[in-house]
Amino acid sequence: MRPLQKNLRHCQNVEVVEMDITNDDSVNNAVEQVLKKYGQIDVLVNNAGVAGFGLFESTSLENMKGLFDVNLFGVVRTYQAVLPSMRKHKSGLIINISSGFGIFASPFVVPYQMGKFWLEALTEVFVMK
């Protein structure tokens, strides 16, 4: 038994479906698995994230791509996987866990902040007013 599943084994109504948010197939397969079993997804919580610290000019593009693949494109993958079903059922809630770094800028965490600013913008687009 995996650690997360072991920790949740006494929780009623909690099921863990693993996915690698950096992999399109993994996200799509996880969502399809849930839809097949339950018919719809009521809530998506985007909580995955990685941080990076240091001088901007010393942060490699590869490192930034890794941050963005989780913090930006991971969110896009999950949105694109669940939104068709949520739109079909005319219901659903998406919760994005962000950071204070998404609303103010400071030195030494610029690539991380770029992703969080982007997440704040995406979240605002989907806020129902």
Enzyme catalytic residues? 98, 112, 116
**For residue 43, which amino acid is it?**
V
Instruction: Say which residue the tokens 């963005």 belong to.
Output: 68
Exposed, middle or buried: residue 90 (CB in 10 Å: 0-12, 13-18, 19+)? exposed
Which two tokens mark 76?
Answer: 């896009």
What are 102-110's contacts with CB under 8 Å, separation 24+? Answer: 108/53, 108/54, 108/55, 109/51, 109/52, 109/53, 110/56, 110/59
